[in-house]
Amino acid sequence: MGPAEHGASGEPAESAGSGESAHGRADAALFGADAVTTRTFDTPEFRGITFHEIRARSILNRVPGASRMPFEWTVNPYRGCTHACVYCFARKTHSYLDLDTGIGFDTQIVVKVNAPEVLRRQLASPRWHGDHVAMGTNVDCYQRAEGRYRLMPGILSALRDRANPFSILTKGTLILRDLDLLRQAADVTDVGVSVSVGFTDRELWRTVEPGTPAPERRLEVVRALTDHGLDCGVLMAPVIPFLGDEPAQLRATVRAIAAAGATSVTPLVLHLRPGAREWFMAWLGQHHPHLVRRYERLYADGAYAPTWYQRRITRQVHDLAREYGIGPTRAGMPRRITPPEPAEQPEPSGPTQLTLL
Ligand code: SF4
């Protein structure tokens, strides 16, 4: 989601902040003056992945153009995402670090190792007014790295202790590790959890979201959360034209979402911004070359599919949601994450881009 990050205090964000905007070849140059440690782990889970550990000076990021967003503040403990979704539109943000937006986005992960303590400090500031904080809007905060770095328990504890409302959007089953903390937070403030499931087609999943838990595993997360009293919506994203948009596919997906007990379903058609577009089109050419021309036509006007197409998908999904009994969000329910608005042109000082998870 958009441009420069700014600390909660209104001070310039120097967290990853200034580091994120720095240019250079070595890590220290890439990430600014903050301490940078580069690590690799020789375990099957993390083979081939490099972690750049940094100490952030600020962790609360203000979303530029927040008036068009359902939230104004985000917390992003990671940059880059091992879930490796081909279409991920946070890819572009890696270029601000002088890192590759293709395979580099999937394998060069920036970790703000002090995120919990910085957040606790910022939430305690008299200049912080307890606004809603959205997580998982840039990259997935429950990606595999979280299993090792365990930043989210400290982040959730800090929010719970201040009764600060927040929401999480994820594809990661790891969120269930923090179920108790989520419930404790929900006892004292508004907590919204959304899981992203754009389709249930396993073949499509294996190739286009290769590092993510399978769609049915994500739907088990929805079930587990709702079974434990936490309402959970599903962001049905992305709906992928010509590969995941057949009526039977939409029906199967909405039916599975309903069966999992989701409180809402919000469809979002694939969009292809610079950074993601090149990577996705290369993937398409490799896996579905016969679709390349159709995509070029469908996305001829830019990052978004035509309005008629988006409306058609939205109508179909809403009709199916009604049929399967997924009601609209009720007043008083935890806030769910709504689809991101088109990002403004990022400022040179560093990105916070909404991504569809
Ligand atoms: S779309 Fe979400 S889960 Fe997939 S790579 Fe991007 S941030 Fe990670």
Distance, CA of 164 to CA of 147 (rounded, Å): 24
351 in a structural domain? no
97 and 209 inside one domain: no
Ligand 1 lined by 138 (C-beta under 6 Å): no
Q: In DSSP terms, which residues pair with 111 in a beta bridge?
A: 53, 78
| pLDDT attached to residue 172 | 98
Q: Tell me if 139 sits within 8 A of 91, measured CB to CB.
A: no
| pLDDT attached to residue 327 | 65
Give the phi and the psi of residue 182 in degrees, each rounded to 5: -65, -40
Ligand 1 lined by 353 (C-beta under 6 Å): no
Q: Count structural domains, the chain.
A: 2
Ligand 1 lined by 114 (C-beta under 6 Å): no
139 and 250 inside one domain: no
126 and 206 inside one domain: no
Q: Whose CA is closest to 196, among 59, 315, 83?
A: 83
44 and 88 inside one domain: yes
DSSP-assigned letters across all residues of 310-349: HHHHHHHHHHHHHHTT-PPPPTTSPPPPPPPPPPPPPPTT
| pLDDT attached to residue 342 | 34
Ligand 1 lined by 146 (C-beta under 6 Å): no
Ligand 1 lined by 139 (C-beta under 6 Å): yes
Domain with residue 235: its CATH number is 3.80.30.30
107 in a structural domain? yes
Structure-token pair, residue 177: 């590790």
From ligand 1's centre to the CA of 329, what distance in Å?
Answer: 25
Distance, CA of 268 to CA of 284 (rounded, Å): 19
| pLDDT attached to residue 246 | 97
161 and 201 inside one domain: no
Tell me which residue range forms the domain holding 210.
197-326
| pLDDT attached to residue 27 | 58
140 in a structural domain? yes
46 and 162 inside one domain: yes
From ligand 1's centre to the CA of 198, what distance in Å?
Answer: 12
For the CA of 91, the closest atom of ligand 1 is 6
Best residue among 89, 108, 194, 357 to mutate for probing ligand 1's pocket (most ligand atoms within 8 Å of CB) is 357
| pLDDT attached to residue 32 | 53
From ligand 1's centre to the CA of 280, what distance in Å?
Answer: 13
End-to-end, the C-alpha distance of the chain in Å comes to 12
279 in a structural domain? yes
Ligand 1 lined by 171 (C-beta under 6 Å): yes
182 in a structural domain? no
69 in a structural domain? yes
59-74 pLDDT, tens digit per residue, is 999 988 755 677 899 9
Ligand 1 lined by 63 (C-beta under 6 Å): no
Ligand 1 lined by 235 (C-beta under 6 Å): no
- List average pLDDT for each run of 10 residues in the chain, which is 357 residues long: 26 30 44 72 90 94 75 95 96 91 96 97 97 95 97 98 98 98 98 97 97 98 96 97 98 98 97 94 98 98 96 97 78 39 32 38
| pLDDT attached to residue 123 | 98
Q: How far is CA 280 from CA 94, 101, 293, 295, in A?
A: 16, 11, 13, 10
161 and 43 inside one domain: yes
96 and 209 inside one domain: no
150 and 223 inside one domain: no
215 and 313 inside one domain: yes
52 in a structural domain? yes
From ligand 1's centre to the CA of 78, what distance in Å?
Answer: 11
Best residue among 78, 86, 139, 209 to mutate for probing ligand 1's pocket (most ligand atoms within 8 Å of CB) is 139
Q: How far is CA 309 from CA 21, 102, 284, 305, in A?
A: 36, 28, 20, 6
Distance, CA of 51 to CA of 28 (rounded, Å): 13
153 and 205 inside one domain: no
